[in-house]
Copies of this chain bind each other. A is one copy, B any other.
Amino acid sequence: MSIHATAIVSDKAIIGNNVEIGAYTIIYDNVEISDNTVIEAFCEIGVSNHLSNGNKLYIGPKSHIRSHSVFYEGSVFLESLVTGHRVTVREKVKAGKNLQIGTLSDLQGHCEIGDFVRFHSNVHIGQKSKIGNYVWIFPYVVLTNDPHPPSDTLLGVTVEDYAVIATMSVVLPGAYVRKGCLIGAHSSIKGDTEEDMIYAGSPAKKICSTSKIKLHDGSGDAYPWRKHFHRGYPEDLVRTWISE
């Protein structure tokens, strides 16, 4: 365990083995940080909030939270969470393993996230979002939830396995981005979609099957991406993907 001399760590926090805590970072009471995790400098981990119903923040083993990040109490992240800098995560996020959250991303809480999900920089995840496994969300994408703002209605969006949402798109309240879909950059998408289709524009229209897109170097199909893109995924998963 290596806690920087300037870090402020509550006696009540549960800190696992071989955890590193950076300079000036604050760890509050209601927190469990699992083994082999790194929390960098200037973070606040486990901010108290009445919406957490007293539930702790759980950070799974082998996680890495980069500097200036703020996590509230009341969320769960299974193993190998990795974040960029300045991430904000509110209460009641229930996330699987190997989640990546890019720099400046803002998770508003009250949402479900599967395994091996990748949020790039500056992604905004509204409350009541349901995100499957192996999903990719690119910079400046916003998942919304209020069909007639402002109101008390929260109509979260659903993003299914392997779906990809490209840069600066808005997913409108209650939309379904189905398995393997690609939402083009700078689009707004509402309602339902069909699996493995491309939607683009504002409002987005169905363009064609993702299977029409070829890799830039001419080496084959670009989608399903899991056939050729394997960085950061475990070998056994990749073998399954290739043999599908």
CA distance in complex: A85, B6 (Å): 21
Copies of this chain, tallied across the complex? 3
Asked whether, in the complex, the Cβ of A155 is within 8 Å of the Cβ of B201, the reply is: no
Lowest 8 A-B CB distances belong to which pairs? A148-B222, A186-B188, A170-B186, A153-B216, A147-B216, A150-B229, A170-B185, A186-B202
Asked whether, in the complex, the Cβ of B168 is within 8 Å of the Cβ of A150, the reply is: no
CA distance in complex: A150, B138 (Å): 9
Encoded as 1 (CB less than 8 Å from any B CB) or 0, chain A from 206 to 228 comes to: 00000001011100001101001
CA distance in complex: A186, B84 (Å): 26
A139 within 8 A of B: yes
* B residues near A104, Cβ cutoff 8 Å: 88, 104, 106
Asked whether, in the complex, the Cβ of A149 is within 8 Å of the Cβ of B121, the reply is: no
For A41, give its contact among B26, B84, B139, B172 (CB under 8 Å). B26
Asked whether, in the complex, the Cβ of B228 is within 8 Å of the Cβ of A151, the reply is: yes
* B residues near A41, Cβ cutoff 8 Å: 26, 44
For A121, give its contact among B106, B148, B167 (CB under 8 Å). B106
Given contacts A85-B70, A122-B106, A142-B140, contact A151 B188 (CB under 8 A): no
For A185, give its contact among B140, B144, B155 (CB under 8 Å). B144
A241 within 8 A of B: no
Further pairs besides A68-B68, A85-B88, A148-B225: 19, Cβ < 8 Å:
A42-B42, A84-B88, A86-B86, A104-B106, A124-B139, A124-B140, A136-B149, A136-B150, A142-B167, A148-B223, A151-B215, A151-B229, A152-B231, A153-B217, A155-B216, A168-B170, A172-B185, A186-B188, A186-B202
